[in-house]
Amino acid sequence: MRNTRQRRQQILQMLVEHGNVQVSELVARFAVSAVTIRADLTHIESQGLATRTHGGATLVRTPPQEQDIHEKDALNLPLKDSIGVHAARLVKPGDNIIIDSGSTTMTLARHLRGHRDVTVMTNGLNIAWELANAPGVELLLTGGLLRKQSLSLQGSQAEASLNTYSFDTLFLGVDGLDLQFGLTTHHEAEASLNHRMVERARRIVVLTDASKFGRVSLHRIARLDQVHTIITDASIDAEYLEGLQRLGIEVIITGSPPP
């Protein structure tokens, strides 16, 4: 699985650099079969990033570059904090929730410190640290392999840890939100874990500033019709607001657009 993920990331990087790739060249470069390369290109095409051509693929759109968690923490802080305030208002005493790793979901954790009788499971080390001494929060960690760039736990152990639980709400962070391709993220293992989180929660709440709308990263987490609520800021494009509302998604708008 790791080799597949790494190979697809490298193929995508080649697409970004050159605009197109050929199956024959990729077979020689990665020493795998043409069938395997075609499956890789089909996967990249399914994310809306490339179009298959005779003998290869052509780049459709450039995926955003991933930033580490420290860089993300410094971006749009007032907007993210306002999103966290509104998300915390959705959490009631007795709730069992999942908080996905991320910089925006981190602000939710900060505003849960005063809550009472709440159980939180998270795969984010920074989120766990924030809630470690919150007296009214019972904290569960997924376990799994630590991805240092995002301070997130992931992998089969993390996914298996969700199997015996049922949660009221998942608070999910994303790297991209597109009306056609849904919710996406940079990393395959994180997408797989997020997908499992979606299956284990009765309500899905996406926390994202409006800069993520229209972006498509390599790996899909979920379809938009699986989402119940999106909390974002006032710079959301009217087209996206109308499109989300047509899908029956509640959109909570907070803060003000950046200057």
The pLDDT tens digits of the residues spanning 162-183 come to 999 999 999 999 998 988 888 9
**pLDDT value at residue 194:** 95
Statement to judge: residues 162 and 223 lie in one domain:
yes
**pLDDT value at residue 144:** 94
CA angle, 51 then 56 then 58, to 5°: 35
Report the 10 Å Cβ neighbour count for 93: 9
Within 8 A by CB and 6+ apart from 126, the residues are 69, 101, 106, 151
Phi, psi of 131 (to 5 degrees): -100, 0
- The C-alpha atoms of residue 232 and residue 208 are separated, in whole angstroms, by 5
Q: Is the separation of the CB atoms in 119 and 96 below 8 Å?
A: yes
Half-sphere exposure (CA, 13 Å, Cβ side) for 153?
22
> Smallest Cα–Cα separation from 50: which of 221, 218, 173, 180?
218
Domain membership flag for residue 228? yes
CATH number of the domain that residue 20 is part of: 1.10.10.10
pLDDT bin (cut points 50, 70, 90) of residue 9 is confident
Domain boundary among 12, 31, 59: 59
Stretch 190-206: mean pLDDT: 95
DSSP track, 51-63: EEETTEEEE-SPP
Statement to judge: residues 16 and 125 lie in one domain:
no
Statement to judge: residues 10 and 128 lie in one domain:
no
User: Can you give the pTM of this predicted structure?
Assistant: 0.76
Stretch 41-54: mean pLDDT: 82
Statement to judge: residues 203 and 78 lie in one domain:
yes
Statement to judge: residues 49 and 122 lie in one domain:
no
β-partners of residue 57 are 21, 52
- The C-alpha atoms of residue 220 and residue 174 are separated, in whole angstroms, by 10
Whether residue 12 has pLDDT greater than 60:
yes
Statement to judge: residues 111 and 153 lie in one domain:
yes
Statement to judge: residues 49 and 94 lie in one domain:
no
Q: Is the separation of the CB atoms in 131 and 151 below 8 Å?
A: no
Whether residue 240 has pLDDT greater than 80:
yes
How many domains would you assign to the chain? 2
Domain boundary among 19, 34, 59: 59
Domain membership flag for residue 181? yes
**Domain that includes residue 52, residue range:** 2-59
CATH number of the domain that residue 111 is part of: 3.40.50.1360
Domain membership flag for residue 64? no
Domain membership flag for residue 84? yes
Domain boundary among 14, 36, 59: 59
Statement to judge: residues 134 and 53 lie in one domain:
no
Statement to judge: residues 13 and 104 lie in one domain:
no
Whether residue 47 has pLDDT greater than 50:
yes
DSSP track, 65-92: PP--HHHHHTSSHHHHHHHHHHHHTT--
